[in-house]
Structure 1
Amino acid sequence: MTKAPKIALVGAGSTVFAKNLLGDILSFPELAGADIRLFDINPERLDVTAQVAARVAQTVGARPTVSTTTDRHRALDGADFVINMIQVGGYEPATVTDFEVPKKYGLRQTIADTLGIGGIMRGLRTIPVLAEMSRDMERLCPDALHLNYVNPMAMNVWGLARLSPRIRTVGLCHSVQGTAGELAHDLGLPVEEIDFLCAGINHMAFYLKFEHRGEDLYPRLMELAESGKVPAGNRVRYEMLRRLGFFVTESSEHFSEYVPYFIKAGRDDLIEKFGVPLDEYPRRCVSQIGGWEELRVKLQSPGEPLEVTRSVEYGSLIIHSVVTGQPRVVYGNVMNSPVNEGGSAGSGKLISNLPDECAVEVPCLVDKQGIQPTRIGRIPPQLAGLMQTNINVQALTVEALVTGNRDHIYHAAMLDPHTSAELDLDQIWALTTDLLAQHGDFIPQELQAAD
């Protein structure tokens, strides 16, 4: 690719995240002249992101072509890369609904964007929008690489593989590299000197190897876990290290609602013991909304410098490697087995003791040929078994969307580890019906609550 790459940012109204990605992209000389298309359905937020893009370009000395549009087709037309960061339904009403309705039934959550009843509902309202966009891509930019940052990551990647397999999609998260930095800090080591191998499913991948200059660091991590002197906000993950022998990538607040052990009906002592921050995601949303307002005000003061620092996100590294051919290894979310255009799994699994048809997070080589996932083979059976409890929920949610079978939504909720730890079957059925009704037209018509 010798010409300036065409990069579409879908959901560019996520201004703070867009700022980080644009800073990463435009800091590369080879990408400094990129054709940046900013798309969002909110003109006000889109205008603020356009101002951010201009300030970022000025700060890093780049000269991109930046355009804004509320027409998705225009943004996608001829794009080489599509970066997706939408939130269907927004904080209000969708996220608020995902928290407030379950509370009425006694179901407490922390993040609710990946699994659990909140993750199921988020998948139901998000995957159809991603699939519609992907079908536009098939027509307007069929060779583009789709970089998906939207949760629920595994469900989204899986759903797109079933509904639009022609488009190359890789799901991107920062939990692998972010947690590596946290563990290095806990051990007093520079993260750039850490060598690791990680594999699993998004938000439930584990470090199969974690070393410093050839030394296995797991004995030191285990010693820290046994000492009881772990960071206050990380007690859940260190407890799981003690039980499983491996450290998980996603944060303790996330992980606490992927398993049935830490948020249980009648066990507030567990909440206190492990420092589980209930209702954490709504607090973050409010903070992010405040951050957007602060950024908007700052942009109205041209003399105030806009700080641009490189983030840990993989998006810009992937684009740079595809454009220049410089090889890199990133962690990406892809299907465990190749998927053909008919939407069915092919042969040759990346993780051999996980199902053919599921989305996995593995190291991927990136160069001019695009994303090339690494075959891991078998992972420890206790890890595969724990992942399967989450894969069950993902599979049934995707199946509901693909087949239009509403019953599978109830089955997904029934099999969810956290939901079933707090509610009985009658409560799960009633809650699911209530949420489907509350979300209304955000849910595909054939899956909406029956009259």
Structure 2
Amino acid sequence: MMTPPKITFIGAGSTIFVKNILGDVFHREALKSAHIALMDIDETRLEESHIVVRKLMDSAAASGHITCHTDRKAALQGADFVVVAFQIGGYEPCTVTDFEVCKRHGLEQTIADTLGPGGIMRALRTIPHLWQICDDMTEVCPNATMLNYVNPMAMNTWAMYARYPHIKQVGLCHSVQGTAEELARDLNIDPATLRYRSAGINHMAFYLELERKTAEGHYVSLYPALLAAYEAGQAPKPNIHGNTRCQNIVRYEMFKKLGYFVTESSEHFAEYTPWFIKPGREDLIERYKVPLDEYPKRCVEQLANWHKELEEYKTAERIDIQPSREYASTIMNAIWTGEPSVIYGNVRNDGLIDNLPQGSCVEVACLVDANGIQPTKVGAIPSHLAAMMQTNINVQMLLTEAILTENRDRVYHAAMLDPHTAAVLGIEEIYALVDDLIAAHGDWLPAWLHRE
């Protein structure tokens, strides 16, 4: 009989995300007996997650056991899989700081977790903690596979494989599979009939092929039907979560211009480029329905709903959940059993995409089996898509260099080359913004940033 794995969850106070990931885990036969090690620095939230996970386990008739830890190294001891999901500095104070300081300098943002000043500051707050996890893994679980869900995904993943190339890790996002389901919904077709091939960088990957299987068994491109539906006003459909602020216009317009559909949402994509958010251009905000300050608004709404959801889970006799879009349990099952699967992951570009920089972080299809996570080669992608991605890679590269070499100048350079920031602010204004952000975040940032 196969020995059950140990799955360590770092950031287990994120109870809803823990519920989704472990709900998937407990419905896989090979993982039902796993040892689940929950780790968080917040003891109250850790206990809340423990209650929910125990009910999940009982509801799924899973036979594993749960341990709770505030000591990270103890939680990691002997782990086979390490799921990482946390936000250093949280909504308050750090996310609020990222938005308010940028706004004072005339720079509006939508999400601010991937690129731009918000993404840069989040990376500077986060990467040192990811490195600490890598240190601990090297010591107590060197053969474990890290499944990283922490943004900014590309910068975090890049910084980890640059400093810890021996750590087995993959950066995970749900944008590729999630957008495929959205597009199927926009066209009123069954997502199970889709076949697609995506490639690029996190939050800026494109479907190089997007097809559906016909009744005759042939595959046909969905791009003509998707464009026709948009031009006829039949797509996009209203937001499935009822969020009327996010109407998905930006990426349909980019699809018209580029010929390929991007995998990340319109509210994200709008701040990765120089075209949609400009001072005094309310016409652009209205035309493309760009939801400024979207992430803080979501945080407020999620916090308001959180306590209600938690009480429901705590008092429920059982918790029945639908399978999530997340790849975590698929990866664990494939590695543990050898049953092959394909996922989309963020990995080092070792000859995977020819016309993106080698060593940069790319998002490609990966085969997963008992040999681990094996990225697949794409070759060259369309040149105009590669050129657009390069503008984002510039920021990722400079920020990664900044933190690897403790070079404050590279932080300024990363902000200078951010497409949205450069379209709004002058060079001296960008330097002043970075200075104010570093000062405002204080001890949330590495000490070397505060040296004279």
Per the TM alignment, residue 421 of structure 1 is displaced from its structure 2 partner at its CA by 1.4
Partner of 1:90: 90
Partner of 1:187: 187
Partner of 1:4: 4
Instruction: Show the 5 A alignment for 1:212-223.
Output: 212-213=212-213, 214-223=219-228
> Contact conserved, 1:113 with 1:119, CA < 8 A, in 2?
yes
Give the whole-Å Cα distance in 2 for the aligned partners of 1:168 and 1:326: 19
Instruction: Show the 5 A alignment for 1:238-257.
Output: 238-257=252-271
Per the TM alignment, residue 237 of structure 1 is displaced from its structure 2 partner at its CA by 0.3
* Equivalent position amino acid for 1:365 in 2: L
Give the whole-Å Cα distance in 1 for the aligned partners of 2:385 and 2:233: 23
Give the whole-Å Cα distance in 1 for the aligned partners of 2:18 and 2:30: 19
Partner of 2:301: 287
Instruction: Show the 5 A alignment for 1:20-419.
Output: 20-213=20-213, 214-231=219-236, 233-303=247-317, 305-337=318-350, 349-419=351-421
Deviation string 1:190-210 (CA, Å, 9 cap, x unpaired) is 001000000000000000000
Give the whole-Å Cα distance in 2 for the aligned partners of 1:51 and 1:414: 46
Secondary structure at the counterpart of residue 238 of structure 1: helix
Mean Cα deviation higher: 52-61 or 172-181 = 52-61
Give the whole-Å Cα distance in 2 for the aligned partners of 1:446 and 1:151: 22
Mean Cα deviation higher: 422-431 or 189-198 = 422-431
Give the whole-Å Cα distance in 2 for the aligned partners of 1:152 and 1:442: 16
Give the whole-Å Cα distance in 2 for the aligned partners of 1:359 and 1:74: 30
TM-score normalised per structure 2:
0.95
Q: Let me know the Cα RMSD of the aligned residues.
A: 1.2
* Equivalent position amino acid for 2:291 in 1: P
Secondary structure at the counterpart of residue 362 of structure 1: strand
- With over 3 angstroms needed to count, the CA separation of the structure-2 counterparts of 1:411 and 1:104, relative to structure 1, is same
Mean Cα deviation higher: 99-108 or 420-429 = 420-429
Give the whole-Å Cα distance in 2 for the aligned partners of 1:295 and 1:234: 28
Mean Cα deviation higher: 288-297 or 20-29 = 288-297
> Contact conserved, 2:186 with 2:234, CA < 8 A, in 1?
no
Give the whole-Å Cα distance in 1 for the aligned partners of 2:183 and 2:195: 12
Give the whole-Å Cα distance in 2 for the aligned partners of 1:333 and 1:243: 26
Give the whole-Å Cα distance in 1 for the aligned partners of 2:5 and 2:327: 17
Per the TM alignment, residue 58 of structure 1 is displaced from its structure 2 partner at its CA by 1.3
Give the whole-Å Cα distance in 1 for the aligned partners of 2:235 and 2:190: 18
Give the whole-Å Cα distance in 2 for the aligned partners of 1:351 and 1:257: 24
* Equivalent position amino acid for 2:430 in 1: I
| Runs of 4+ in structure 1 over 3 Å off | 225-230
Per the TM alignment, residue 295 of structure 1 is displaced from its structure 2 partner at its CA by 2.8
Gaps of at least 5 residues in structure 2 are 214-218, 239-246
Give the whole-Å Cα distance in 1 for the aligned partners of 2:366 and 2:149: 16
* Equivalent position amino acid for 1:328 in 2: S
Per the TM alignment, residue 219 of structure 1 is displaced from its structure 2 partner at its CA by 1.1
Give the whole-Å Cα distance in 2 for the aligned partners of 1:173 and 1:393: 20
Partner of 2:426: 424
Secondary structure at the counterpart of residue 248 of structure 2: helix
> Contact conserved, 2:96 with 2:296, CA < 8 A, in 1?
yes
Identical aligned residues as a percent: 54
Give the whole-Å Cα distance in 2 for the aligned partners of 1:237 and 1:227: 16
TM-score normalised per structure 1:
0.95
Deviation string 1:98-139 (CA, Å, 9 cap, x unpaired) is 111101011100100001110000011111110111011011
* Equivalent position amino acid for 2:229 in 1: L
Give the whole-Å Cα distance in 1 for the aligned partners of 2:130 and 2:184: 36
> Contact conserved, 1:226 with 1:242, CA < 8 A, in 2?
no
Deviation string 1:354-406 (CA, Å, 9 cap, x unpaired) is 00021000000001111010000000000000000000000011000001110
* Equivalent position amino acid for 1:388 in 2: Q
Count of residues in Structure 1 that have an aligned counterpart in Structure 2: 438
* Equivalent position amino acid for 1:151 in 2: N
> Contact conserved, 1:15 with 1:292, CA < 8 A, in 2?
no
Give the whole-Å Cα distance in 2 for the aligned partners of 1:405 and 1:332: 29
Give the whole-Å Cα distance in 2 for the aligned partners of 1:84 and 1:317: 16
Secondary structure at the counterpart of residue 195 of structure 1: strand
> Contact conserved, 1:7 with 1:36, CA < 8 A, in 2?
yes
Give the whole-Å Cα distance in 2 for the aligned partners of 1:28 and 1:357: 35
> Contact conserved, 1:225 with 1:242, CA < 8 A, in 2?
no
